Amino acid sequence: MVHRFAHVLAQAGIGPGRTVATLHLISPEAVALRLAVQLLGGCYAPLSTRIPAPALVALARTVGPAALVFAPAFGKNAEAVLDALDPPHVLSLGSADHGCDLLAAAAGAPARPVPPGGRESDPALIMCTSGSTGTPKAPVHTFAGLAVQQQMDRWLRRHVPGGLTRRFLHHAGDMLSPEVEHVMWTLAAGGSAVLLGDVGPSQVIEALDRERVTHLYCMPRLLEELTAEIGRGPAGVARYPHLCQVEYGSAPADPGIVKEALDGFGPRLVQVYASSEMAYVTVLGTDEHTPGLLGSVGKPLPGVRLRIGDGAAGTDGDVWVRSPAAMTEYRGDPARTASSFSEGWFRTGDRGRVDTAGYLRLTGRESSKIIVASGLCVYAHDVEAVLASHPAVCRASVFGVPDARLHETVHAAVVRAGDSTISARELMAFVRNAMGERYTPSSIHFLPELPLTRKNLPDRSALRDAVRQR
């Protein structure tokens, strides 16, 4: 399938320097499509299927695709992109109202091998991370960078038995989740992947045994939910004899949740600190899940260097990373690229400190404008802009409130305009329709005026404290 897809894509001019944007959920055909694009030396750019049309168009415009490939279920999303951008080539994964049916064309294409066309320095993957208000982030990774990421993955599994028998469970829907990279690394290592789709914890638990899963990745929230499903103690540990490793990350994990997961899963946990821009940064290994180290995110992987602020030992500061797996740029945003790097060091946006044993402990974000909810970044000013665009809103401030399960939840304080009586529910629906569920505040609090800092800016800390005291 990969080679048949590649023959069809080659006829559309896909090769080094050409980007293919996609709109589809994960499936065997979707995995084959990504491999075919990259086999030709092209750059694969999955677009989110969960964001409104204006955000989707902004993201696609940033990516600048030579081709768009979409699943028929997302035909309306594709129409919005086509109307705005009109990419040279349009293909669909099945019969659709627009473009060439890639599956039908591939059925008649030769199966002979296509030689790899990519060079180490060519763009291979764009990990699109936002797009909510027309200013998307689109980190670009080269083939060389992806090769380093694969080496990092193999290093993380070096003590795990299985090798070629690795069986990874993917339990998300879209092609933007961290699990997708695990699928690729698993296949590259000669293993197999089970594509479960976007399901809940009970279905994940059922699949662990049914599919003889050896490797699982999850965010801290799911780790907690799985622990509650399987129970704690020896009975839970013994339930899944095939399961070798449970990797968790994407958001800081509460030590209490991790301790309960250790009771349920036993010595199988591995914590990673990673980002769309830098891939793996640090790891807390299975043998390091001890009481004194829970709460840290581990030590840097081989080849990765870490720096806190100006380098003073034992102090909190901005976390800077230097890695051979780093992105090369933010596509279409040279200013953001320049401000994120300093002499090869990337500023993560997190704050932390390194203890005397070399373990990194995260202490927060460098800006309260960034809210990390369920492992995903929400930019406060993006949500504020949408709220402020409503005629019933005079001023709005958006902030994060700590949550043991989700790391943070999104909240808002609003000053109504004039005599407006608009409700919190109406404003939540307004944000949801404009940006999607991820950006919708959990609560909206109406105030006669917003508390201000000495610089006459909304005081998010005061608002956060007020919500926590309720």
CATH of residue 75: 3.40.50.980
Q: Residue 37: which residues within 8 A CB-CB, separation 6 or more? A: 9, 14, 20, 43, 44
Which of residues 82, 106, 137 is at a domain's end? Answer: 137
243/310 same-domain check:
yes
Q: Where are the beta strands (DSSP E) in 276-359?
A: 279-284, 299-300, 305-308, 317-322, 329-330, 341-342, 345-354
The whole-angstrom separation of Cα 87 and Cα 82 is: 7
Residues 298 and 444 grouped into a single domain: no
Distance CA 106, CA 358 (A): 52
Does 312 share its domain with 387?
A: no
Strands 167-170, 317-322: pairing kind: unpaired
CA 133, CA 381: separation in Å to the nearest integer?
10
| Domain end call among 137, 155, 172 | 137
* 169 in the same domain as 280: yes
Identify the pLDDT of residue 373.
Answer: 62
Boundaries of domain holding 113: 2-137
The two tokens of residue 465 are: 């404290």
End-to-end C-alpha distance for the chain, whole angstroms: 57
Specify whether 31 is located in the same domain as 130: yes
Q: What type of residue is 460? A: R
* Residues in contact with 235: Cβ distance below 8 Å, sequence separation at least 6, in sequence order: none
- pLDDT for res 209: 87
Please check whether residues 128 and 158 belong to one and the same domain.
no
CATH of the domain at 221: 3.40.50.12780
Q: Give the whole-angstrom CA distance, residue 387 versus residue 395.
A: 8
List C-alpha distances in Å: 269 to 32, 113, 435, 458.
30, 39, 34, 41
CATH number at residue 376: 3.30.300.30
Phi, psi of 439 (to 5 degrees): -95, -5
Q: How many domains does the chain have?
A: 3
In the chain, how long is the greatest CA-to-CA distance? 70
Same domain, 261 and 150: yes
- Considering the domain architecture, whether residues 156 and 109 belong to the same structural domain is answered as no
Q: Which amino acid is at 78?
A: A
The pLDDT value recorded for residue 20 is 98
Q: 414 and 311, same structural domain?
A: no
Q: 284 and 152: one domain?
A: yes
Residues 9 and 124 in one domain: yes
Q: Mark which of 345, 365, 385 sits at the end of a domain.
A: 365
pLDDT given for residue 134 in this prediction: 41
Same domain, 162 and 29: no
pLDDT in tens, the chain (470 residues): 999 999 999 999 999 999 999 999 999 999 999 999 999 999 999 998 877 788 789 889 999 999 999 999 999 999 999 999 999 999 999 999 999 999 999 999 999 999 999 999 999 999 986 443 345 689 999 999 999 999 999 999 988 865 558 999 999 888 887 889 999 999 999 999 999 988 888 899 999 989 999 999 998 878 888 888 887 555 556 788 899 999 998 766 778 889 989 988 989 999 999 988 999 999 999 999 999 899 899 999 999 999 998 655 567 888 999 999 999 999 999 998 999 999 999 998 888 899 889 999 887 665 555 666 655 667 777 788 889 899 999 999 998 887 756 567 899 999 999 899 999 999 999 998 888 887 899 999 999 999 887 666 788 878 888 887 77
pTM for this structure?
0.81
